[in-house]
Structure 1
């Protein structure tokens, strides 16, 4: 939700998250005074974040801090050893996977697999790191004979979308969900009658309004590792699961094509 808060609201939330003495006895007035805003503002922000009020928000935050994984999002320190760095990075990703699985919408997952399986044409759109996820997914699908095209150029994406129609599917990969280069072709594809699927970290991001199906990762950004470091791994796992679900819809064909594509590259591997 952080990208959808105002600068003031964001600063208030950061202030609350940074408190070391936050527990069930923490008073609303204390939180408001520390953040330099009114008590009404704190309640407003809590409701905007999806809680019924301050007490509900406080309970949720206290419960979260009591989880054994709560320390996983600690930022890296100059004093960390190599192993401590590895542990923090790995644990952050593990946490992202656990949280992503917990919010995964079963109906959206099944519908995405159905649309991809039945589509005549499958076009994937992504920029930067999201394009790498799109390529990884397209590679997996090719192994089982499910062909997909990947576009990472703004003009090429729009050209692709303009040729889609009913029976086709366009999939947009965008961590922020606010990348115009991906939103615009997805909107055009939908206008042309194609079905649209979105993979993002924010369910309420702008790109979601142009999607028939929204699949969400959930990962806290890190100033050092980057905004989507852990989310990238979570999104790859979502795609891996969809790949298996699509293969399951025609297992015999998937196994036959998997054997064919594996045999095709066998000669490219050096013998022991």
Structure 2
């Protein structure tokens, strides 16, 4: 029976669980996903012998990845392969023309957006928008590339009259977290979900009674586990582009959607504040 999968979610589902497999399990998954001849008739025995493990081990890994068993996993992979989704992501080579490079880079981002949109938990998204709308103080934590996303969102919130503090220094994050209370919200950005500085500050914020929203690429990462709400991007890794580039685009879009949902909660006020902040900047432009 084919077709009950949304192919965009298959790659996402496997990628999100990969960091939590043992090295042996990850190698078995690589062996299975690397087969060009995989189809609906590929036997469990073929796969397990190829990977050098028992049949039971393959079934256990399929279940760990969130499938019912080997046949379910096999079917999901076949469906995924039949779509363009899997083939979009190809490595950059020395022979690539500029047009090839543009296509590959853009397609990687388009794919990250498509897949992320397909896995967004709408009720979690709603709760996050409600929390951010009603918060007294909004703290955004992130280091490196994640801090850039935090700044982008804080800038948008300020335009509609909602202040958000962006902290990208470990000590500043902790000091700010120590001052939060039950009416406050933290948005913690970490691609891996394992950035210790961000986790420490988010944990302290929780201890103060603040709510924590995690924005990460992995649903079962430590940051997601400690958060009240986790909103996940999903992006395939590429040695040259890295996961981060495509994940950043997806995370920016998640936060853009959150921003719109927050503004929608009180559209009249948002529009009035937008006019005020726009006027302040317009005056600057005319000189």
Task: Give the TM-score, by structure 1 length.
Answer: 0.97
Q: Which residue of 90, 93, 99 corresponds with 1:83?
A: 99
Q: Which residue of 154, 168, 173 corresponds with 2:184?
A: 168
Query: Does residue 1:196 correspond to 2:212, yes or no?
Result: yes
Equivalent-residue separation in structure 2 for 1:157 and 1:102 (angstroms): 32
Q: Which residue of 57, 74, 81 corresponds with 1:58?
A: 74
Q: Paired residue for 2:138?
A: 122
List runs of 5+ in structure 1 lacking aligned partners: none
The root-mean-square deviation of aligned C-alpha atoms, in Å, is 1.2
List runs of 5+ in structure 2 lacking aligned partners: 1-16
User: Offset at 1:228?
Assistant: 1.4
Q: Paired residue for 1:18?
A: 34
User: Offset at 1:270?
Assistant: 6.0
Task: Give the TM-score, by structure 2 length.
Answer: 0.92
Q: Paired residue for 2:274?
A: 258
Deviations 1:179-235 (A, max 9, x none): 111111111101101111111111111111221111111111111101211111011
The answer to which of 119-128 and 18-27 deviates more is 18-27
What are the within-5 Å matches in structure 2 for residues 1-272 of structure 1? 1-269=17-285
Q: What secondary structure does 1:193 align onto?
A: coil
Moved over 4 A (4+): none
Flag the structure with more relative contact order, 1 or 2, with Cα contacts below 8 A and sequence separation at least 6.
Answer: 2
User: Offset at 1:34?
Assistant: 1.7
Deviations 1:18-66 (A, max 9, x none): 1111111111111112222222211111110001111100000000000
User: Offset at 1:68?
Assistant: 2.2
Is residue 221–residue 229 contact of structure 1 (8 Å, CA) maintained in 2? Answer: no
Q: What secondary structure does 2:112 align onto?
A: helix
Provide the aligned length of Structure 1 versus Structure 2.
271
The answer to which of 18-27 and 141-150 deviates more is 18-27
Is residue 201–residue 219 contact of structure 1 (8 Å, CA) maintained in 2? Answer: yes
The answer to which of 113-122 and 260-269 deviates more is 260-269
Equivalent-residue separation in structure 2 for 1:26 and 1:11 (angstroms): 19
User: Offset at 1:77?
Assistant: 2.0
